[in-house]
Amino acid sequence: MSLNSQAGNPGDEQVKQALREAKRIAVVGLSDNPGRDSHRVAKYLQEHGYEIIPVNPGVDRVLGAKSYPDLASIPGPVDVVDVFRRPEFVPPIAQAAREIGAKVLWLQLGVVHPQAAAAAREAGLLVVQDACLKVEHHRFGL
């Protein structure tokens, strides 16, 4: 099973390569509640060797990492911006991902924003929409 191509997603090999090269993943909307999907996904990614950077102005720390109020506040490079926010919040997040030089904009299951995705692609980001990063990472066997 491949990524949803109707969402304009790239092919599996391109996504697999991006995930192999990624080291730092900013998780926008990461909850400190272990029962939330964002927390489970981030914990899985952390357990698989990625540095997780929480982006949530409402919490101080998540999974042992300092939380930042927004992408622009993160020191150093970010490889992947993983978004757990509703579609109406995606455009400014996509813009910020471009501004910080992220390589990948990943919109989680149920999150699709064609205009923001197109703008991010035009800026050179790899964009995945409506897909779970944890599920795809596991499916790729990374």
> What's the confidence (pLDDT) of residue 104?
98
Question: Has residue 2 got a pLDDT over 80?
Answer: no
Q: Ramachandran region of residue 107, left (φ > 0), alpha (ψ -120 to 50) or beta?
A: beta
pLDDT at 44 over 60: yes
Region 16-31 average pLDDT: 97
pLDDT tens digits along 75-109: 999 999 999 999 999 999 999 999 999 999 999 99
Cβ atoms of residues 131 and 109 within 8 Å: yes
Determine how many CB atoms are found less than 10 A away from the CB of residue 23.
11
Q: Flag whether the pTM goes above 0.85.
A: yes
Answer whether residue 1 shows pLDDT above 60.
no
